Amino acid sequence: MDTLELVGSVIGFLIYAYLLYEQNTIMKEQNRIMREQAGETVTSQAPSRAKLYWPMLVMGLLTLASWTAVVVFQKIHTPYPFAWTGEHYDYINGKTFANEEVILDGKSYKHCTFQHVTFKFNGTAPFQFSYNQIVGAYGFKTDNLAVLATFAAVKGLGMQTQNMKIFGPDGSLIDVSPPTHDAPPTNGLPAATKEQ
């Protein structure tokens, strides 16, 4: 909860408490009139303040308790750290990267050379990769577990080359081996024939 929301909530609560006070005053007068109409003798002794205002006190405490619960909940449950930041690119053209970590989020690489690098992608922004050259082994690193699972699936399903390494958020190498692509067994079915 930011400061503006907090100030707005406090002002709203004060207005609410004032309106409840005014309503109590009106109800008190209506009750006196109804008792007089019913033939009761109305004494001038007013009920104690505690008796008059206990409902407002309880509502105020419940309101404060709910605000406290909201603030505590927001502190405990931090927002997703990998929120999408939009499509704004930093353009990089014709640069050589060697033996380093290369950030992909929000970058546009064109005509660049990457030698033995580790690409880091957290999925917070798109990236562009055009007319580049990759030399030697390379790896992918991420702090986002959803992206890590995607990298592992791509390699594990054989959709990526063998020389790609995948690193987890702590920098440890994730061991994923692509499958072999052997011909499936025919199970007694005739092999497909070539058309002439």
Q: Where in the sequence is the domain holding 168, given as residue range(s)?
A: 90-174
Same domain for 70 and 94, yes or no, is no
The token duo for 121 is 């992608």
Q: Residue 69 belongs to what H/E stretch?
A: helix 49-76
Same domain for 96 and 127, yes or no, is yes
Same domain for 69 and 20, yes or no, is yes
pLDDT(125) > 60: yes
- Quick check: is 39 in a domain? yes
| Overall average pLDDT of the 97-108 stretch | 94
- Quick check: is 84 in a domain? no
User: Among 51-65, 74-88, 106-120, where is mean pLDDT lowest?
Assistant: 74-88
For helices 3-37 and 49-76, what crossing angle results, to 10°?
Answer: 160
pLDDT of residue 79: 64
- Quick check: is 190 in a domain? no
- Contact between 31 and 52 (Cβ < 8 Å): no
Write down which residue in 37, 54, 76 finishes a domain.
76
Same domain for 61 and 106, yes or no, is no
The pLDDT tens digits of the residues spanning 144-179 come to: 888 888 888 887 777 766 667 777 778 787 777 666
Same domain for 98 and 72, yes or no, is no
**At residue 145, what is the residue type?**
L
pLDDT higher at 135 or 165: 135
| ∠ Cα 133 174 144 (to 5°) | 80
pLDDT(86) > 80: no
- Quick check: is 152 in a domain? yes
**Domain total of the chain:** 2
- Quick check: is 194 in a domain? no
pLDDT of residue 121: 92
With bands split at pLDDT 50, 70 and 90, how would you rate the model's confidence at 182? Answer: low
- Quick check: is 125 in a domain? yes
- Quick check: is 183 in a domain? no
Rounded to an integer, what distance in angstroms lies between the CA atom of residue 27 and that of residue 50? Answer: 16
pLDDT of residue 185: 58
Write down which residue in 42, 76, 110 finishes a domain.
76
Rounded to an integer, what distance in angstroms lies between the CA atom of residue 72 and that of residue 75? Answer: 5
The pLDDT tens digits of the residues spanning 13-71 come to: 788 777 777 777 777 777 778 878 887 776 666 666 666 677 777 777 888 888 788 87
